A and B are shown apart, each in its own frame.
Chain A
Amino acid sequence: MKVLVTVKEVAEVEDDFEIADLDVDPRYLEYDLNEWDEYAVESAVQLAEAADEEVEVVSVTIGPERSEETIRMALAKGVDRAVRVWDDDIEAAEFLDVASKVRLLEAVVAEEDPDIVLSGVQAHDTGFGATGVALADAIGFEWGAVVNALDIEGVLNDGVARVHRELEGGIEELTEIDLPAVLTIQTGINEPRYASLRGIRQAQSKEIAPKTLSDLGLDFSAVESELFLTDMYEPETESDATYFEGDAGEQAAALASALREKGVGAE
């Protein structure tokens, strides 16, 4: 059995930042493993650990060489090997929309032939929340979006993913999904492990296979998007809050009197 897990390196923006051209100035960006993907990686590794048979966990990343640091984190947590898709044409692409990513991932799926694909619900940076489901449809897999509970035994023994999908308003939908399937994994589904020292050491010798468009039998048209990002700006703040100034003591005193006016702490 093979599990393919998508791993994205995402940029997080510092509190204070500037925008340069059409993106946040890289000086204010920090790169990290996408939070949702951390949970997807953990689910994938748990599947492998629970299985009697050999289960291989392969990660796939669309990202530049810099992202290998992030990929190593996934390898240190138990992913067996990694595929990293990138080349000059992808680098030059103006905007990798959902359809572009699906064309790349679809080619990787064709090479790897996984039984189940796990992805995060969304990426922290672009936040489309759509690649997993679109990929499933493209590769003819069944799917489930926003999965926050997964019965591992069902996946291993029955060919069925019994999942909870986290709907709005504290309601979960119980769904049975025939495999092969793509599941998009929600935060909180498990407790992502910390990489052990041994894991970190082992990760150094695990394979990260670089793939170009032509390696995947594609050309630049695969990353030609019909979406163009034409502007980026800080949203106007509409705050009409009353701010309490001063040191912490002064702020707390002023806030306390405002709260008392609202009847807080009256009893």
Chain B
Amino acid sequence: MSDVLIVAEHRRGEIRDVSYELVTAGRELADATGGDLHLAVVSGDVDEFATRLNLDGVDAIHTVDYGEEFNHDVYAQATCALVDDIDPQFVLMPNSVNGLDYAPAVANRLDLPLVSDAVGMTFDGGLTVTREMYGSKVETTIEVDAERATVTIRGGEWKATDADGDADIAAFDFAPDESAINSTVTGFEEVAGGDVDIADADVLVSVGRGIEDEENIELVEELADALGATLSSSRPIVDNGWLPKNRQVGQSGKVVTPKVYIAVGISGAVQHVAGMKGSETIVAINTDPNAPIFDIADYGVVGDLFEVVPELIDEFQ
């Protein structure tokens, strides 16, 4: 009852980073509850995945050898079956696109509360979760007034566990109700192709919501030209159709690591930061001094981009 179950994530044969972070989060929580840490691997090459996820702090690994790729019906059924068997106090899943495709169903089916997008967790007789609200403007503390709960954790918030472990690996006896599998993954598509690969650029000028209007894109194009840089953007610019999808930096776009990244009118939502925080030097130009982009910037200009950018273009012409 004091155990913790984590469900690993993989895609197209690769274990996703958040799986290693789940081990860390799960171990911390299991230490606090005094329970064991169980790890579930569902679908794909489960034996290979189990070997690689046999990490320090994991007590038991359960493999569910059914199907190849992620299917939410299979994951929901398998997770619920494992919970029946293991009787964990807490179930931790990734707050990824796929995690959010089955974790809410698991919570509903087991009649357990769900706290999603956790960035911190403590247990002191009861579970307390830290999570953000209002687009990362505030942090909140959520106390869970239930003995058991499900949580999805945000990627990149816990350190990855790398050290080898010596967990027991066992195949979990599971046969899904196939009549309840009513969705089929038919393929994958890479969407960021096209004329330019922003991941190859040494210098990126990246434009965000602060540019306000499609016709103002020209201004940042001019800046990129003056600097010999490539133009990229945050999500809203692509959503609006002002730049093509292959220009998008972030969780759902490209991950970039240029020598210099110049964020123009980008607030720095977590999904964007995930795609550019590895840049060598980060410059932020934004009117809002509290914009989260400044937390990771090396150089900051608090000011109106419509005043600063033209001056900057002049400097380089």
B139's partner among A124, A168, A233, A238 (CB-CB below 8 A) is: A233
Chain A: CB-nearest residue to B109? A137
- B101–A144 contact, CB under 8 A? yes
Most-contacted residue by chain B among A232, A252, A256 (CB, 10 A)? A252
Query: Which residues from B are CB-within-8-Å of A125?
Result: 133-134
Please list 13 pairs of residues, one from A and one from B, whose beta carbons are closer than 8 Å in the complex, sorted by A's number: A24-B137, A146-B97, A166-B97, A173-B185, A176-B184, A226-B146, A227-B115, A231-B141, A234-B138, A244-B299, A248-B307, A256-B316, A265-B316
- A128–B239 contact, CB under 8 A? no
Report the stretch among B52-60, B160-168, B281-289 that lies at the interface: B281-289
- Given known A24-B138, A241-B297, contact A251–B303 (CB-CB < 8 A): yes
Check: A156 CB closer than 8 A to any chain B CB. Answer: no
- Given known A227-B115, A228-B142, contact A133–B188 (CB-CB < 8 A): no
- A188–B116 contact, CB under 8 A? no
- Given known A137-B105, A231-B141, A256-B316, contact A130–B298 (CB-CB < 8 A): no
Q: How far is the CB of A103 from chain B (nearest CB, A)?
A: 10
Interface range, A side = 35 or more
- A168–B133 contact, CB under 8 A? no
- A170–B114 contact, CB under 8 A? no
Tell me the chain A residues, 59-115 only, with Cβ under 8 Å from chain B. 95, 97-99, 102
Q: Cα distance A238–B277 when bound, in Å?
A: 14
- A252–B117 contact, CB under 8 A? no
How many B residues touch A, CB cutoff 8 Å? Answer: 97
Q: A239-B294, A263-B259 are in contact. List 19 more A-B contacts (CB 8 A).
A: A13-B138, A99-B107, A129-B95, A129-B116, A137-B76, A142-B183, A143-B72, A168-B96, A168-B252, A171-B11, A172-B188, A172-B190, A173-B187, A175-B185, A226-B144, A237-B295, A243-B300, A248-B304, A258-B283
- B113–A169 contact, CB under 8 A? no
Q: Cα distance A117–B137 when bound, in Å?
A: 30
- Given known A127-B133, A242-B298, A264-B260, contact A259–B188 (CB-CB < 8 A): no
Check: A267 CB closer than 8 A to any chain B CB. Answer: yes
Q: Cα distance A175–B114 when bound, in Å?
A: 25
Check: A27 CB closer than 8 A to any chain B CB. Answer: no
